[in-house]
Every structure is written in structure tokens, then in C-alpha cells.
Amino acid sequence: DGGITQSPKYLFRKEGQNVTLSCEQNLNHDAMYWYRQDPGQGLRLIYYSQIVNDFQKGDIAEGYSVSREKKESFPLTVTSAQKNPTAFYLCASSIGQGRGELFFGEGSRLTVL
């Protein structure tokens, strides 16, 4: 079945450590996105990528980094510079930037101790 796979589902890290969240899709979608969600809040866009080897900052990119070396993969690194990293992280993809609906993964819940 086609879809988006995020891993790990739950992750615990000590303060000051970088952590990388994985996002893989087999939908042959060009565009991929990372969102952050805090309790009781909506989704805020961190980064998005229209095509391989290209990505753009979203609304809250500070303290995060991404890469898009392959069409299927869009990993997100939460760096030690992110002041409040504990959150629910959601990856999504769409056929193309500006076209089609977004398909979301099941999310990764990061807790920094």
C-alpha cells in the first residue's frame, strides 16, 4: 500500500542532543512537508520541499534542518538550537507544490528530558 511512514513513533532525548526524524513516502509525490504540533494547537509549517535537492523554510524553521537527497525521503533534524523541541511532528506529501491534497504520516512524538 502506498503511504507515508514516519519513524520513530515515540522518541526521548536528553537536552542538547540533536535528533533526526525519518519520513519516507512511496506515493511518487514531488512535494514534502514537515509540521510541528503542540498540545491543543494547530499545525505550524517548519520546512517544505518542492523537488529533490530543494527546500524552503516555513514559518518556524529556526533550530531545525532538513535534506532532500531522494524523492522518497525528507528527514528532519531537530538541533540543540531549538529551544522547545518537545512536540508532535508530522510529515506530509503532495503530488506537487500547490496541487492536490496533502497526505500525512502518523507522526513522531519527541520528548526532550
Which spans of this chain sit near another protein (rule: CB under 8 A)? 4, 33, 35, 40-45, 48, 50, 56, 58-59, 88, 90, 92, 97-99, 101-107, 109
- Work out how close the CB of 41 gets to another protein at its nearest, in angstroms, rounded to a whole number: 6
53 close to 60: Cβ distance less than 8 angstroms: no
Which C-beta is closer to another protein: that of 18 or that of 56? Answer: 56
Which C-beta is closer to another protein: that of 12 or that of 17? Answer: 12
Burial of 33 (0-12, 13-18, 19+ CB in 10 A): buried
What is the C-alpha separation between 5 and 10, in angstroms, rounded?
Answer: 13
Which C-beta is closer to another protein: that of 82 or that of 94? Answer: 94
82 close to 62: Cβ distance less than 8 angstroms: yes
